[in-house]
Amino acid sequence: MMSCWRRASRPIRGVRATRLLSGPFGLLVLLLVCPTWAVFAEQNVNPGINHNYVDPDVSQWRGVFERDGREVWDRRDDIIRELRLRPGQRVADVGAGTGFFTLMMARAVGSSGHVYAVDIARNFVNSVVGRARDDGLGNVSGVVNDQRGVGLPVGSVDLVFVSDTYHHFEYPRSMLASIHAALVPGGELVVIDFRREPGRSNPWVMRHVRAGEAEVTAEIEAAGFALREHPEFMQGQYFLRFVRN
């Protein structure tokens, strides 16, 4: 950001831009010079969708997330196989929740790999790290993030996994920019979410889920990703694998 500020502060036809930056059009000037600042002007696309996760009861949510009849739970083994994880990989489970995918991925990448359990709810993160420790998994770290980023260092992971969480992104452009930065060049982003199709999807999905598959794909591609795979093995949900450009 500071490099953008220095660039914006250079003289423009004899007028130092810092005068403009301090004036009423300052934000517009800065956005023109450094478009990445646009994420800070982003509007919340779904205010209040995460109010249930301010201080969640972990045991209650385990009964919700880890139950027969929930597609990602029923197909969890298929999903892990489809990820094609390798020993030594570094993976971020964004929106880890109660952590059942985190633990499965930690076993798949082995002791030479690492999995970050990322969630906005500290209760969830602490619980996942505790479950990993109880299971003898020393390759899991917890990260409490916020609504605008995943809280991971630049180039720190090979794969980011987002299951039933994309529709909870209140600031999707900011989150995708953060994910893009956290991935190594050529790293992958896998998104699982609900099919939102009028006349087919149930009323809860139509009310709760902001965007359908086509819109989600367009948003992710606009953030610097290319769709690589779209395997069709789920019913009410889709599985998309993107590569970071």
* Same structural domain, 19 and 94: no
Q: What is the pLDDT of residue 21?
A: 38
Mean pLDDT of the chain: 88
- Token pair, residue 1, equals 């950001």
Span 206-214, average pLDDT: 97
What single-letter amino acid sits at 86? R
- pLDDT digit string, tens, across residues 80-108: 999 999 999 999 999 999 999 999 999 99
| pLDDT tier at 35, thresholds 50, 70, 90 | very low
Question: Is residue 46 in some structural domain?
Answer: no
In this model, does residue 45 exceed pLDDT 50?
A: yes
* Same structural domain, 111 and 225: yes
Q: How far apart are the first and last CA of the chain?
A: 21
- Cβ neighbours, 10 Å, residue 198: 7
* Same structural domain, 13 and 64: no
Q: What is the pLDDT of residue 125?
A: 98
Three-state secondary structure call for residue 128: helix
Q: What is the pLDDT of residue 225?
A: 98
* Same structural domain, 121 and 203: yes
d(CA 34, CA 32): 6
117 close to 142: Cβ distance less than 8 angstroms: yes
Question: Is residue 79 in some structural domain?
Answer: yes
d(CA 232, CA 245): 24
What single-letter amino acid sits at 91? V
Span 64-91, average pLDDT: 98
Rounded to the nearest 10 degrees, how much is the dihedral formed by the CA atoms of 138, 139, 142, 147? -170
In this model, does residue 26 exceed pLDDT 70?
A: no
Residues 6+ apart with CB under 8 A from 58: 98, 123, 124, 127
Residue 243 bridge partners (DSSP)? 188, 226
* Same structural domain, 21 and 104: no
Residue 116 bridge partners (DSSP)? 92, 141
Q: What is the pLDDT of residue 241?
A: 98
d(CA 51, CA 170): 11
Span 121-137, average pLDDT: 98
* Same structural domain, 113 and 176: yes
* Same structural domain, 35 and 61: no
- Cβ neighbours, 10 Å, residue 131: 19
d(CA 225, CA 241): 10
* Same structural domain, 177 and 206: yes
Three-state secondary structure call for residue 191: strand
* Same structural domain, 71 and 149: yes
- pLDDT digit string, tens, across residues 174-204: 999 999 999 999 999 999 999 999 999 999 9
- Cβ neighbours, 10 Å, residue 51: 7
In this model, does residue 1 exceed pLDDT 70?
A: no
d(CA 225, CA 93): 18
Instruction: Name the nearest CA neighbour of 115 among 136, 134, 142.
Output: 142
* Same structural domain, 70 and 128: yes
189 close to 244: Cβ distance less than 8 angstroms: yes
* Same structural domain, 69 and 154: yes
* Same structural domain, 82 and 203: yes
In this model, does residue 3 exceed pLDDT 70?
A: no
Span 143-160, average pLDDT: 98
Question: Is residue 64 in some structural domain?
Answer: yes
| pLDDT tier at 40, thresholds 50, 70, 90 | low
Domain housing 98 = 51-244
Question: Is residue 135 in some structural domain?
Answer: yes
Question: Is residue 158 in some structural domain?
Answer: yes
Question: Is residue 77 in some structural domain?
Answer: yes
Rg (Cα) of the chain, in Å, rounded?
20
- Token pair, residue 196, equals 């939102």
Question: Is residue 209 in some structural domain?
Answer: yes
94: domain CATH number is 3.40.50.150
Span 50-59, average pLDDT: 95
Question: Is residue 195 in some structural domain?
Answer: yes
Domain count, the chain: 2
